Amino acid sequence: MNPPCGRCKKPVYPTEKINCLDKYWHKGCFSCEVCKMALSMTNYKGFEKKPYCSMHYPKTSFTIVTDTPENLRLKQQSMLNSQALYKEEFEKNKGKGFSVVVDTPEMQRLKKTQDQVSNIKYHEEFEKSKVRSDAPPPENRQDDQEQPSNTERFNHPAGQLRPAAVAPSSGGHYQAMYSYTAAEKDEVSLQEGDLILDVEPIDEGWVFGCNQRTGQRGMLPANYVRPV
């Protein structure tokens, strides 16, 4: 029984038979699928078991892969595998030395935020610890320390002698020129600009008064206040 032709499906006799592309063809049927140009065994090109000429031979092209649920699952699985490998490499290299951090926009933003926080903390600490350099030291209280002898006074260099505080008059109103933190329970803390009422001189360099702002009454250094 003669096999059918690959194109016209009619029987192919041995005298006109062409065996190609796993089919049998009549010599007149063995032509290009597009332009119908007659082909031979030397000039045909097969694609999907069909003959084509060189001009109309199908060209392969890239296909766009759509984001199907299966493709999304594979993509997520690949990302998880990459993260697992990264973590594994990180654990292996941990402790072997410093690692270079990629300077990404996110890392730059975090670094800038940390610098701003550090600057704020520095200024806060600086303001807390800042002390007025022009504030003179308060006079030593007589009940805490004995007055130095004449010999000790003469032994002090001239540049280290402190100016004597001017004793305020009794009952006047005074204003704090410098801030002062009380060192004893019977002393009064001051802030620059505080108004001191009912000032009375007591010991040398010390007065008794009432801080109008806080309502506290007690001793304070005389060289920290001035009459108003």
pLDDT tens sequence across 142-157: 554 444 444 444 444 4
What pLDDT sits at residue 163?
40
Taking the domain 1-61, which CATH number applies?
2.10.110.10
Cα 227 from Cα 223, distance rounded (Å): 11
Domain boundaries, the chain: 1-61, 174-227
For residue range 6-47, what is the model confidence (pLDDT) as tens digits?
A: 888 888 888 878 888 888 888 888 889 889 888 888 888 888
pTM (whole model) above 0.75: no
3-state helix, strand, coil in the chain (%, to 5): 30, 20, 50
CA-to-CA separations, 158 to 130, 148, 153, 205, in angstroms, rounded:
28, 15, 10, 20
Read off φ and ψ for residue 11, nearest 5 degrees: -60, 140
**From CA 214, how far away is CA 164, in angstroms rounded?**
28
Report strand pairing: 206-211 vs 50-52.
Answer: unpaired
pLDDT higher than 80, residue 181: yes
* 174-227 fold: SH3 type barrels. (2.30.30)
Residue % of the chain over a pLDDT of 70: 72
Rounded to whole angstroms, what are the CA distances from 100 to 97, 106, 183?
Answer: 10, 15, 52
